[in-house]
Copies of this chain bind each other. A is one copy, B any other.
Amino acid sequence: MATLSDVARLAEVTAATVSNVLRNPDKVRPETAKRVMRAIRELGYRPNLNARALAEGRSTTLALMLSSIANPFYPEFVLAAERAARRAGYFLMVCNTDDDAEIGRAYLTQIAGTLAEGVLVLNTDIAINELCETAAVGAPIVLSLWEHPGRLPALPCVAVDFAQAGVLAARHLLELGHRDIGMLIGDGCGGLQDARATGFRDVMRDAGLEPDNAAVREIPDTIDAGYAACIDLLARESHLTALFATNDLLAIGALQALATRGHKVPDDVSVIGITDIQLAHQVRPSLSTVAINTEAIAQASIDLLIRLIRDPDVQTPLVVDVPPPVLVRRQSTAARK
């Protein structure tokens, strides 16, 4: 079985360079890296991570645990997180809990501190105290996409000001003259998106408008659910001139429902979402939304996790702030007729 030194000898570099090629490829000149990779392949060398992790008490793998890979937002987050991890010399493996807290627990037991040196957990159904127990005995855990900056968990987290996203959506619709606004509130993996809805309602109330409960639907976080809820709203609440959805999937479902029922967007009804997933600019009409900065959030989450791995004595709870949400005006919103 070839060793790291064998590889170094064949590639005519130091062992540290071989290590760098494997862990911090950015630090190595491309030609050198190529020579090292050739030597690695020629010798069939494989860093035995199990043995090495046990010997060194560390691995080079991070885990990202998410609840629903089928929700198009998460693959976008995964891509950004994987790139951020790679830049720091870490691998990222992704575990999909399929919206099942029990599976999440099993993954945590399986990976935290053994397969992965640290775990990034996105909006989860697992209770915070259970995550704390895992963090206490195993590897660092960072919660990302935390929805409630005003109510912090006992774990390090990256908080996103989703209430502010709701505020921006409400201001935009009010400025366009809308008063009769329906709400689609997502009930997703991280629970009901009530911070977003509260931010929206607060602005409405400040403008003297009491939200109409008959025009509010709390629904699962999917395009299909947004579609069905909007079809239902259109049948019962024909006075609405705008729809606010707490995320883009619901808003895109609403766009499709409006098209199906022959309503023009934005002439008859304006629609706005939150997040700015790729699809938001790809659908027609393109979707106005409040963008959270997915790349910055992913980068900050990976940075925080690595910081905790490198220095376990860092004081917790830690909260990392990310850039505030930003309104993105596209074709789906216009002035009330």
Contact = CB atoms under 8 A, between A and B. Distances in A.
Interface stretch (A99-107, A152-160, A211-219, A237-245): A99-107
B227 A256 contact: no
A114 B52 CA distance: 10
Given A75-B70, A76-B70, A96-B94, A130 B50 contact: no
Contacts of A283: 256, 283
Contacts of A78: 69, 94, 96
Interface in A18-77: 22, 25, 37, 40-41, 44-51, 53-54, 60-61, 63, 69-70, 72, 74-76
Contacts of A22: 106, 109-110
B70 A37 contact: no
A10 interface: no
Given A41-B130, A86-B103, A109-B40, A79 B96 contact: yes
A interface SS class: helix
Given A49-B115, A252-B282, A279-B279, 8 more contacts: A40-B109, A50-B54, A61-B115, A69-B75, A69-B78, A74-B75, A75-B75, A93-B93
Q: Which 10 A-B pairs have the closest CB atoms?
A: A93-B93, A94-B94, A259-B284, A44-B137, A69-B75, A49-B114, A256-B284, A50-B50, A223-B282, A75-B75
